């Protein structure tokens, strides 16, 4: 039976993990177990922390404690593929918090590169919620699949688009030039997402390297143009409208008649102008009103 006599020993061990202090951990273990290295190691492997049931490896990865992680791996033989209650493994934690040295260490140790946590998120997907390109590149170099989808149908590219990380989007497009050609389970494209969230530079990149029909609708009949209008994203509406003047690619032919784009209605019968007006976005209304079919 694994036993630790001190009631606060576990908490103090966790604090040393968070501070990346292997010496501090050794001191506590020496007081509790003396020279019984096997029992001490067994105890460390059984510790869980917090409501998610994190192992010490999870804590070390989250805190960037590389020295402790090496100790846990090499001397304690902790399982680097252990999952917490959310299905997250240590690599998920390191990727999500942009711990490049930890990510590389786990890859070098042969950890699975595309494990799925709850809702089918991979470490690469979590990395794409942040702006650290080096972490994304390390995961891709380690064999991460850039085309996997989570429960909602989102790919790493779609996620980076939502967050406005143009540099990561460009990297993923360099790897897979058709990465833009994706949609979620409810048929929302990266262009929908960028338009709704006001990610102007992402919209420009998508229009430059992708081939989206501007009237492409999601399951609710909403187009990217409608998303921009409903969210008062005037700059993005201007960007979409400007395409008719500059003649970019074949897609511009679909935007030549801006009035046709503005006349598209969602499943509730609303145009982009209606959505802007309903939300009180006067600046958008001024831009769209000349093309509103009812005026």
Measured CA to CA, the distance from residue 68 to residue 26 in angstroms comes to 11
- Residue 251: burial class (beta carbons within 10 Å; 0-12, 13-18, 19+): middle
Helix %, strand %, coil % for the chain, to 5?
Answer: 55, 0, 45
What is the distance between the alpha carbons of residues 262 and 259, in angstroms, rounded to a whole number?
Answer: 5
- Computed over its alpha carbons, how large is the radius of gyration of the chain? 25
**Nearest to 236, CA basis, from 263, 196, 274, 293:** 196
| Residue 295 confidence (pLDDT) | 46
Give the tokens for residue 244: 């008719």
- Whether 139 and 104 have beta carbons less than 8 Å apart is answered as no
pLDDT at 248: 41
Where exactly are the structural domains of the chain? 214-295
Tell me the whole-structure pTM to 2 decimals.
Answer: 0.83
Inter-residue contact 44 to 17 (CB < 8 Å): no
54 three-class SS:
strand
Distance separating alpha carbons of residues 48 and 266, to the nearest angstrom: 49
What's the pLDDT score for residue 292?
60
CB 161 within 8 A of CB 202: yes
What's the pLDDT at 243? 58
H/E element, 43: helix 37-46
CB 87 within 8 A of CB 112: no
Record the tokens describing residue 63, joined without a space: 């805190």
Paired tokens of 60: 């070390």
Cα end-to-end distance, the chain, whole Å: 80
CATH fold, domain 214-295, is 1.25.40
Give me the pLDDT at residue 211, please.
Answer: 87
Instruction: Report d(CA 111, CA 142) in Å as an integer.
Output: 10
| Number of CB atoms found within 10 A of residue 23's CB | 9
What is the token pair recorded at 168?
């990561």
Give me the pLDDT at residue 238, please. Answer: 77
Cα–Cα dist 37/29, whole Å: 9
Residues forming a β-bridge with 226: none
pLDDT of residue 246: 47
CA angle, corner 225, sides to 205 and 253, nearest 5? Answer: 70
Q: Per-residue confidence of the chain (295 residues) as pLDDT tens digits?
A: 445 556 689 999 999 999 999 999 999 999 999 999 999 999 999 999 999 999 999 999 999 999 999 999 999 999 999 999 999 999 999 999 999 999 999 999 999 999 999 999 999 999 999 999 999 999 999 999 999 999 999 999 999 999 999 999 999 999 999 999 999 999 999 999 999 999 999 999 998 899 887 678 999 999 888 888 778 787 887 777 665 444 444 433 433 344 445 667 777 877 767 766 787 767 666 666 665 655 4
User: Looking at residue 99, what DSSP letter applies?
Assistant: -
User: Which tokens sit at 221?
Assistant: 């009949």
Closest by CA to 288, choosing from 233, 251, 237, is 237
């Amino acid at each position: 039976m694994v036993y630790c006599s001190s009631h606060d020993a576990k908490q103090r061990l966790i604090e040393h993990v968070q501070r990346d202090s292997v010496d501090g951990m050794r001191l506590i273990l020496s007081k509790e177990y003396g020279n019984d290295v096997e029992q001490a190691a067994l105890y460390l492997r059984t510790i869980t922390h917090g409501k998610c049931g994190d192992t010490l490896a999870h804590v070390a990865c989250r805190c960037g404690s590389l020295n402790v992680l090496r100790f846990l791996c090499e001397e304690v033989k902790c399982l680097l593929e252990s999952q917490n209650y959310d299905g997250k493994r240590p690599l998920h934690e390191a990727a999500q918090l942009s711990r490049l040295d930890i990510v590389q260490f786990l890859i070098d140790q042969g950890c699975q590169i595309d494990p799925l946590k709850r809702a089918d998120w991979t470490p690469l997907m979590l990395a794409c919620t942040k702006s650290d390109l080096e972490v994304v590149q390390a995961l891709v170099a380690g064999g991460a699949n850039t085309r996997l989808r989570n429960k909602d149908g989102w790919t790493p590219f779609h996620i980076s688009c939502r967050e406005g990380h143009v540099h990561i989007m460009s990297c993923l497009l360099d790897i897979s030039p058709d990465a833009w050609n994706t949609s979620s389970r409810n048929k929302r494209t990266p262009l929908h997402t960028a338009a709704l969230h006001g990610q102007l530079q992402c919209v420009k990149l998508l229009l430059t390297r992708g081939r989206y029909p501007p009237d492409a609708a999601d399951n609710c009949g909403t187009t990217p143009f409608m998303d921009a209008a409903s969210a008062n994203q005037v700059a993005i509406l201007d960007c979409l409208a400007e395409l008719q003047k500059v003649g970019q690619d074949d897609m511009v032919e679909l935007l030549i008649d801006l009035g046709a784009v503005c006349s598209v209605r969602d499943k509730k019968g609303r145009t982009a102008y209606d959505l802007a007006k309903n939300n009180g976005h006067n600046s958008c209304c001024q831009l769209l009103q000349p093309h509103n079919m009812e005026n």
